[in-house]
Amino acid sequence: MLNLHGYGMRLIEGALVTVELAALSLIIAVLLGLVTASAKLSKRRLPHLLATLYTTLIRGVPDLVLMMLFFFGGQVLMNDVSDWLYARFGLDLFINIDAFIAGVLTIGLIFGAYMGETFRGAIQAVDKGQVEAATACGMSRALIFRRIRFPLMMRHALPGLSNNWLVLLKTTALVSVIGLSDMVRVATQASKTTLEPFTFMLFVAVIYLLLTSLSEWVIKRLTRKYNAGFTRGRS
Amino acid sequence: MTTMTTLQPSESRPSPVSSEPAEVLLRVEGIKKRFGDTHVLKGISLTARRGDVITLIGSSGSGKSTFLRCLNLLEQPDGGELEIHGQPVHFTTTRHGRVPQDEKRVQWMRSRVAMVFQNFNLWSHMTLLENIIEAPIHVQGYSRAEAINEARCLLAKVGLEERADHYPSQLSGGQQQRGAIARALAMNPDVMLFDEPTSALDPELVGDVLAVMRRLAEEGRTMVLVTHEMDFARDVSTRIMYLNQGEVEEEGPPQQVLDTPRSNRLRQFLSTR
């Protein structure tokens, strides 16, 4: 039996932070991805340009660098802003970037770019005739998106989306560098104190494996749902 | 109308002298459409009264499908007026071109003018039954139970009551098209538009779809259709319009247009059929 030297509870709490972080980041990433994909498919030039800039930047810079840039760089920016506010208006306002929120925003921002690419291909793969049929029935754009476009798109998006989710889940390990007490950070501290890194890292690895296996199960069910009506074997 | 003798609805319609002509359901005036520098429609007008079956014929590129798509605004006309049930659709010019003023009004209008497409376009992630109840529930606000009841009647009408729980990919082309007709009927539209409904079908499946359409015509459904099935057009139409290069070259009752065409082009077009 694993001897966790009393770190068990803290590790479980850390695991919860990891799950919350991943889930919230996923929501932001999906929303950002949908916006990015629509912007990239838009005929207007400005949204297209902004979206291209965004995906190029994010996909071209390592996640770890981005995270430190946003967290530490963001804090410096906030300090400058509050200094300026104090000097100019006498406002004594100190804005402290919360590590959890910074983590969620950064990971959401990074994966929004990847989701954008996934969704763009998926939106393009939807049969225009089926959207037209919905328009011809008098459906509003919002209703068409909810009832027709989104479910049809999900079928094409799910493989890429699932892949992004698994990478995102593992990327949360990076937030330990900005001081967030996720599972990895707790385990690192415990390893240093007890000099038993193998035990703690193994524990963390198993938890990640459990989370990804659970994800695979959910993905399989979602795939079945969004593939309803499509004959097996056709991609 | 239950008698089977009304193959030529034009003969059964009351003469204008004895009573009022049937109510006008759809009226368009001078519809124009341009794609780039090509004038696809050069000002076409059409009035559909209750019970009319108007068939548009013409070679490919004559603008008949584009015109049909303008009738429920899947295509925005660059000029002309459009009225459904006496309610005009107002247009306004923006930098994206001429667009309808009121999107809600357009949605209402589309729900009154149903469309049947060449490629069926049933929603592939829904069963046939779900396809049919979708718009009645989400656009027209019927309860699920009401919509399902109605859908089962319609499925029986098009001969697909056994197929309610099949997905479109599990149906033949002819079955999909009959399903699409049921979906259009479920909105209880004033006018039904058919855009080459049998062109994508294998020859042996065409008959079933035409039989369903023929029954609709006999029931007095108001229909505007684009088709290459000349025998069918002759049998069911109250009026035939021959389009050539974006203009109506000839129009009138089927016998007149098909048997004694006045224009050379129409004569040529008919001889190649």
Task: Supply the CATH number for residue A58's domain.
Answer: 1.10.3720.10
The answer to the question of residue A116 being in a domain is yes
- Interatomic CA distance for residues B41 and B118, integer angstroms: 20
Q: Which amino acid is residue A200, in one-letter code? A: F
Sheet strands side by side (includes B24-35): B38-49, B24-35, B79-84, B87-88
pLDDT of residue B10 exceeding 60: no
Mutation site, A137, A140, A148, interface B, largest B CB count within 10 A: A137
- Of all helices (H) and strands (E), which one includes residue B171? none
| Mean predicted lDDT score pLDDT of chain B | 89
- Interatomic CA distance for residues A36 and A228, integer angstroms: 27
Mutation site, B105, B138, B169, interface A, largest A CB count within 10 A: B138
pLDDT of residue A76 exceeding 90: no
What domain count does chain A have?
1
- Strand positions, DSSP E, chain B: 24-35, 38-49, 53-57, 79-84, 87-88, 91-94, 97-100, 113-116, 191-195, 222-226, 239-244, 247-252
Residues of B in contact with A130 (CB under 8 A): 121-124
Q: Give the pairing type, strands B91-94 and B97-100.
A: antiparallel
The answer to the question of residue A174 being in a domain is yes
| Residue A92 pLDDT | 77
Nearest Cβ partner of B187 from A137, A155, A230? Answer: A137
pLDDT digits (tens, 9 = 90+) for B151-168: 999 999 999 999 999 999
- Would you call B41 helix, strand, or coil by DSSP? strand
Residues 62-101 of B with CB under 8 A from A: 72, 74
For residue A134, give how far its alpha carbon lies from the nearest alpha carbon of chain B (Å): 8
Residue A125, Cβ neighbours under 10 Å: how many? 12
Contacts of B210 (CB under 8 A, 6+ apart): B198, B229, B232
| Residue A182 pLDDT | 86
Range with the largest mean pLDDT of A197-201, B73-77, B178-182: B178-182
Residue B136, Cβ neighbours under 10 Å: how many? 23
Q: Taking the mean position of all CA atoms in its chain, how far away is CA A7?
A: 28
Q: Give the pairing type, strands B247-252 and B239-244.
A: antiparallel
Q: Which amino acid is residue B21, in one-letter code? A: P
**Percentage of residues of chain B with pLDDT beyond 70:** 93
Q: Which domain holds residue A121?
A: 20-179
| Residue B197 pLDDT | 95
User: H-type helices in chain A, by residue range?
Assistant: 8-41, 45-60, 63-68, 74-89, 99-125, 128-136, 141-144, 150-171, 183-194, 197-226
- Interatomic CA distance for residues B52 and B220, integer angstroms: 7
Q: Do A137 and B127 touch (CB under 8 A)?
A: no
For residue A26, give how far its alpha carbon lies from the nearest alpha carbon of chain B (Å): 25
Provide the token pair at B223.
Answer: 């229909």
The pLDDT of B49-75, averaged and rounded, is 93
Which residue of chain A has the CA closest to B184? A137
Q: What is the pTM of this model?
A: 0.83
- pLDDT range class, residue A56, cuts 50, 70, 90: very high
The answer to the question of residue A11 being in a domain is no
pLDDT of residue B15 exceeding 80: no
| Mean predicted lDDT score pLDDT of chain A | 89
pLDDT of residue A153 exceeding 50: yes
Residue with tokens 């030297």: A5
Q: Which amino acid is residue B44, in one-letter code? A: I
Nearest Cβ partner of A132 from B74, B107, B168? Answer: B74
pLDDT of residue B2 exceeding 80: no
**Percentage of residues of chain A with pLDDT beyond 70:** 97
- Interatomic CA distance for residues B40 and A84, integer angstroms: 62
- Interatomic CA distance for residues A64 and A72, integer angstroms: 12
Residues of A in contact with B127 (CB under 8 A): 229
pLDDT of residue A178 exceeding 50: yes
Q: From residue B246, give the alpha-carbon distance in Å to each of B43, B214, B241.
A: 8, 28, 12
Nearest Cβ partner of A130 from B110, B124, B169? Answer: B124
The secondary structure of residue B20, as a DSSP letter, is P
pLDDT of residue B7 exceeding 50: no
The answer to the question of residue A228 being in a domain is no
The pLDDT of B95-120, averaged and rounded, is 89
Query: Crossing angle of helices A45-60/A99-125, nearest 10°?
Result: 120
The answer to the question of residue A56 being in a domain is yes
Residues of B in contact with A136 (CB under 8 A): 72, 74, 110, 114-115, 117
For residue A104, which of A224, A229, A17 has the smallest C-alpha distance? Answer: A17
| Residue B114 pLDDT | 95
- pLDDT range class, residue B200, cuts 50, 70, 90: very high
- pLDDT range class, residue A53, cuts 50, 70, 90: very high
Nearest Cβ partner of A139 from B109, B126, B138? Answer: B138
The pLDDT of B81-89, averaged and rounded, is 89
The mean-pLDDT minimum among A85-94, A116-125, B48-57, B208-217 falls in A85-94
The mean-pLDDT minimum among A28-32, A130-134, A183-187 falls in A183-187
The mean-pLDDT minimum among A150-154, A165-169, B100-104, B117-121 falls in B100-104
The answer to the question of residue A227 being in a domain is no
Nearest Cβ partner of A129 from B114, B119, B127? Answer: B119
Phi (first) and psi of residue B198, to 5 degrees? -110, 5
| Residue A124 pLDDT | 94
For residue A168, give how far its alpha carbon lies from the nearest alpha carbon of chain B (Å): 29
Provide the token pair at B268.
Answer: 């040529």
The answer to the question of residue A216 being in a domain is no
- pLDDT range class, residue A231, cuts 50, 70, 90: low
pLDDT of residue B22 exceeding 70: yes
- pLDDT range class, residue B112, cuts 50, 70, 90: very high
The pLDDT of B84-105, averaged and rounded, is 84
Q: From residue B27, give the alpha-carbon distance in Å to each of A78, B70, B99.
A: 63, 12, 18
The pLDDT of B237-249, averaged and rounded, is 94
The answer to the question of residue A204 being in a domain is no
pLDDT of residue A2 exceeding 80: no
B125: contact with A, CB 8 A cutoff: yes
